[in-house]
């Protein structure tokens, strides 16, 4: 089936997944971190203090996600989406009204759980379940919502904050969620997708349907998770401390915000390429290559300090995110089946959230200790290279055990 025919026949559900992923941007680090400078000044917090606060809030969302994430297995996507969008708007209002450190922590927790966690989880799980035979394409299209948010939201926030202040920008974000995102998604999700005969045959061909408990007892799951979550750790840490980075390099925040356009372009290109490749070769065969762009991004950021390096770094981060998010979202159902995918993906995604929580806290602590930022970034790049080898070994073990079937 051609891309255009696939888009035309499934526009309603692909659009819903895309918009869920896009509006998750309100709870993503690249958006939340744009307020860190004002929060530090207004509440007298250091880089390490705010990073620790963000880490603890994100860890809390990671611990909660396995319990609320399985709701996608038991309730219609429309119901889950309505609750999550409303909650995300509520926590955006909470951030706008923050008057103490504990309220910042509560807002961080809700934004991370509802935005980064449940919105993305719902978008990807729904796309993967609706389109078993064309899962790679469906997930890659759904995840194009993230680069759209990365391209538009930072510049919108900086502009709104310049006019209304940072609190006003958060208020506008909440109103957009309630008055635009919620009504449109309720219309799109008013009719659930009935899987085609090809999709049903694809599900039957997947073989063993693992439960969450079986997956969590599989050592390969944990080793793969340590590799594929490197982008969450590294990108979140750098984006959260972007104000520190631009001051260190002598760049402007507007310049770095505009570099998100390069990141968005990288994600779009990578997502459109990787989707058909997954459908042709399987996510398992492509898994070892997912960290290569990220290792190059770390090298560029650590070695080159000219303004152009910001755009190169962000483009490589975008390619990494486009490959990794689409690949991983297809890999889990490919490896463990779709019957319990809501629960399995919630657990897998909670590890991703944990990694994104650890990044800002650890890097902020090291900054306060005086560890050079370039040294930290080089260490991140080395970690990526090591896990390219580990993922190669893991991909071979999945093939030899017969867990994954190559798509027809």
Residue 406 confidence (pLDDT) above 50: no
- Give 231-256 as a DSSP string: HHHHHHHHHHTHHHHHHHHT--HHHH
42 vs 88, higher pLDDT:
88
Note whether 243 and 362 are within 8 A (CB). no
Most confident of 3-12, 319-328, 373-382: 373-382
Note whether 150 and 38 are within 8 A (CB). no
Q: Which of 18-27, 198-207, 217-226, 324-333 has the lowest mean pLDDT?
A: 198-207
Helix (H) / strand (E) containing 114: none
372 vs 62, higher pLDDT:
372
- Give 36-89 as a DSSP string: HHHHHHHHT--HHHHHHHHHHHHHHHHHHHHHHHTHHHHS-HHHHHHHHHHHHH
pLDDT tens, 241-264? 888 888 888 888 778 878 888 887
**Largest CA-CA distance found in the chain, in angstroms, rounded:** 60
Fold of the 9-401 domain = Growth Hormone; Chain: A; (1.20.1250)
pLDDT tens, 27-51? 988 889 888 888 888 888 887 788 7
What does the DSSP 8-state code read for residue 351? H
Pure H helices in 97-130: 101-111, 120-130
Angstrom distance (rounded) from CA 262 to CA 270: 12
Tell me what the mean pLDDT of segment 197-219 comes to.
67
The pLDDT score that the predictor gives to residue 97 is 92
Confidence of residue 91 (pLDDT cuts 50, 70, 90): very high
Average pLDDT in the chain:
84
The pLDDT score that the predictor gives to residue 250 is 86
Tell me what the mean pLDDT of segment 141-170 comes to.
87
- The residue extents of the domains of the chain are 9-401
The pLDDT score that the predictor gives to residue 376 is 93
Contacts (Cβ under 8 Å, ≥6 apart) of 380: 230, 233, 234, 237, 298
Note whether 315 and 270 are within 8 A (CB). no
Cα end-to-end span (Å), the chain:
13
Of 23, 52, 301, whose CA–CA distance to 145 is shortest? 23
The pLDDT score that the predictor gives to residue 3 is 62
Confidence of residue 2 (pLDDT cuts 50, 70, 90): low
Tell me what the mean pLDDT of segment 55-73 comes to.
83
407 vs 396, higher pLDDT:
396
Note whether 326 and 140 are within 8 A (CB). yes
pLDDT tens, 259-269? 888 887 888 88
Note whether 153 and 29 are within 8 A (CB). no
Residue 346 confidence (pLDDT) above 90: no
Confidence of residue 200 (pLDDT cuts 50, 70, 90): very low
Of 327, 328, 347, 113, whose CA–CA distance to 211 is shortest? 347
Residue 79 confidence (pLDDT) above 50: yes
Tell me what the mean pLDDT of segment 370-384 comes to.
92
Residue 11 confidence (pLDDT) above 90: no
The pLDDT score that the predictor gives to residue 407 is 41
Residue 408 confidence (pLDDT) above 50: no
pLDDT tens, 111-138? 999 998 899 888 888 887 777 667 777 8
Contacts (Cβ under 8 Å, ≥6 apart) of 240: 29, 32, 33, 36, 51, 54, 359, 360, 363, 364
Helix/strand/coil for 340: coil
Task: Measure the CA angle with vertex 400, ends 397 and 402; round to 5°.
Answer: 110
Buried b (16+ CB within 10 A) or exposed e, 296-318: bbbbbbbeeeeeebbbbbbbbbb
Angstrom distance (rounded) from CA 39 to CA 209: 46
Buried b (16+ CB within 10 A) or exposed e, 161-177: beeeebeebbbbbbebb
The pLDDT score that the predictor gives to residue 365 is 85
Q: Which two three-digit tokens encode residue 107?
A: 């807002």
pLDDT tens, 283-335? 888 888 889 999 999 999 999 888 899 899 999 998 998 888 778 877 887 78
Angstrom distance (rounded) from CA 363 to CA 33: 14
Tell me what the mean pLDDT of segment 202-219 comes to.
73
What is the reported pTM? 0.69
Q: Is 369 exposed, middle or buried (0-12, 13-18, 19+ CB in 10 A)?
A: exposed
- Give 172-228 as a DSSP string: HHHHHIIIIIHHHHHHHTTSPPPPPHHHHHHHHHT-----HHHHHT-HHHHHHHHHH
Of 176, 177, 327, 146, whose CA–CA distance to 239 is shortest? 146
């Amino acid at each position: 089936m051609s891309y255009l025919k696939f888009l035309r026949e499934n526009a309603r559900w692909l659009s819903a997944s895309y918009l869920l992923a896009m509006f998750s941007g309100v709870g993503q680090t690249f958006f939340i971190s744009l307020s860190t400078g004002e929060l530090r000044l207004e509440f007298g917090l250091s880089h390490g203090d705010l990073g620790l606060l963000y880490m603890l809030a994100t860890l809390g969302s990671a611990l909660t996600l396995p319990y609320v994430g399985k709701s996608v297995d038991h309730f219609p996507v429309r119901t889950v989406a309505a609750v999550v969008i409303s909650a995300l708007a509520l926590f955006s209002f909470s951030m706008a009204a923050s008057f103490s450190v504990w309220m910042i922590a509560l807002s961080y927790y809700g934004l991370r759980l509802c935005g980064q966690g449940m919105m993305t989880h719902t978008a990807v799980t729904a796309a993967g379940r609706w389109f078993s035979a064309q899962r790679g394409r469906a997930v890659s299209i759904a995840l194009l919502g993230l680069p759209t948010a990365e391209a538009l939201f930072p510049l919108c926030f900086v502009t709104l904050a310049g006019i209304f202040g940072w609190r006003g920008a958060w208020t506008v974000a909440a109103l957009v969620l309630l008055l635009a995102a919620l009504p449109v998604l309720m219309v799109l999700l008013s009719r659930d997708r009935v899987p085609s005969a090809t999709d049903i045959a694809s599900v039957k061909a997947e073989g063993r349907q693992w439960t969450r408990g079986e997956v969590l007892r599989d050592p390969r799951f944990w080793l793969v998770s340590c590799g594929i979550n490197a982008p969450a750790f590294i990108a979140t840490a750098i984006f959260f401390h972007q104000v520190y980075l631009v001051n260190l390099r002598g760049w402007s925040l507007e310049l770095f915000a505009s570099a998100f356009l390069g990141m968005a372009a990288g994600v779009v290109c990578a997502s459109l390429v990787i989707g058909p490749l997954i459908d042709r070769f399987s996510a398992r065969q492509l898994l070892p290559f997912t960290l290569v762009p990220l290792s190059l991004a770390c090298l560029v950021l650590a070695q080159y300090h000219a303004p152009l390096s910001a755009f190169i770094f962000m483009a490589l981060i975008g390619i990494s995110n486009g490959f990794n998010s689409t690949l991983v979202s297809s890999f889990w159902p490919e490896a463990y089946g779709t019957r319990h995918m809501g629960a399995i993906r919630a657990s897998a995604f909670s590890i991703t959230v944990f990694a994104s929580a650890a990044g800002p806290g650890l890097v902020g602590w090291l900054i306060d200790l005086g560890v050079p930022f370039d040294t930290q970034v080089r260490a991140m790049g080395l970690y990526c290279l090591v896990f390219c080898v580990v993922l190669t070994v893991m991909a071979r073990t999945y093939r030899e055990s017969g867990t994954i079937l190559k798509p027809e």
